[in-house]
Amino acid sequence: MSPHLKNYPGHTMRKAHLALGALLVAGVLALALWPASRWMAAASLAFPVGVVVAIHLGVLLAVSAGLITALASRSRARQAEGTKVGATLHSARLYDWTAMAYTLGRESRLRERTLDAAGIIAGEHVLDVGCGTGTLTIAARKRVGSTGLVDGVDASSEMIARARGKALRGGLSVTFEIAAAQSLPFPDATFDVVLCSLALHHLPQDAQAPALAEMRRVLKPRGRVLIVEFRRERRLSALLNPIVLLHALKNPRMLHEVERLMQRSGFQQVTIGALGVAGMGFAFGRVPAQA
């Protein structure tokens, strides 16, 4: 999730913030009105009121998602000399607000499910590629404990600055660096686990395979990689979430394509599955014991 918003005019950014704020307010109002439907049922008003609230929330969600998607569609930033780093988000606060919106306030649950799917345990060395503002990276740091290490990389200096601030406020030792997924600044066979959450789809298609090859390079023998992406689901929560729905419709086979690229990059035992939160899925693979 990394639209390039650095050079957008101030009024456009304010509109995006207002839209997200309105979305959150609508959610609070819906929760507040829910108990009222019980006494309204006596007057046969619960159903029509519920329909009206649902329609208004749906429209508001669609407008908010449309605004975010419109901003993202104009965002493809690339380095000079043709080096492709993909879209890069420069509004760290908007990133966090958007994450809260598309997970419907369950971001911490999503992060914990991600760590569970990767099988992260105490003492491991973990790398988070495309770490954004560091929420998942910091959750991984807590999981590996005092005997483990965690690094995070992102192509956006603004994201890295916010991630470092979060770690500092939490009193956690996490190393964050500015780097592209296709050029990881680490020696071969450094990490036990590599995570990449909602970042790979922002890379150009011809840059995704090199990024996965880099992830494999920095993993130790028997190391693990977990790629998290949007997926098509028939769950009601996913179908009613326009941000998740639009991403899933844009590339419904994203995880299957990731699975194929992982196999081509030399990963073994590649599997795909659902995280069960906000329409997210994952592709998981291992490095052979002997490369």
| pLDDT tens-digit map of 257-289 | 999 999 999 999 999 999 887 678 999 999 999
Residue ranges per structural domain of the chain: 10-81, 91-286
Q: Which CATH code is given to the segment(s) 91-286?
A: 3.40.50.150
More confident residue, 121 or 88: 121
pLDDT at res. 122: 97
Sign of the Cα torsion 265, 228, 96, 144 reads: negative
More confident residue, 90 or 135: 135
| Strand duo 280-286 + 149-154: pairing | unpaired
Task: Provide the 10 A C-beta neighbour count for residue 82.
Answer: 6
Please determine, for residue 11, whether its predicted confidence score (pLDDT) is greater than 80.
Answer: no
CA atoms of 126 and 191, how far apart (whole Å):
6
The residue with tokens 């569609």 is 73
pLDDT at res. 21: 57
pLDDT at res. 86: 56
pLDDT at res. 254: 86
Angle between helices 242-250 and 92-102 (to 10 degrees): 100
Which amino acid, 200? L
Please determine, for residue 37, whether its predicted confidence score (pLDDT) is greater than 60.
Answer: no
Q: What percent of the chain has pLDDT over 90?
A: 49
The rounded mean pLDDT for the chain is 77
pLDDT at res. 120: 97
- The string of pLDDT tens digits covering residues 125-181 is 999 999 999 999 999 999 999 999 999 999 999 999 999 999 999 999 999 999 999
Please determine, for residue 223, whether its predicted confidence score (pLDDT) is greater than 90.
Answer: yes
Confidence band, pLDDT 50/70/90 cuts, at residue 9: very low
- The string of pLDDT tens digits covering residues 42-76 is 555 555 555 555 554 554 555 455 555 444 444 44
Cα 200 to Cα 47, 144, 156, 278: the distances in Å are 42, 24, 15, 18
Residues in the chain: 291
pTM of the model: 0.70
Confidence band, pLDDT 50/70/90 cuts, at residue 194: very high
**Which tokens hold the place of 237?**
């929560």
Q: What percent of the chain has pLDDT over 70?
A: 60
CA 49 to chain centre: 34
Task: Provide the 10 A C-beta neighbour count for residue 249.
Answer: 10
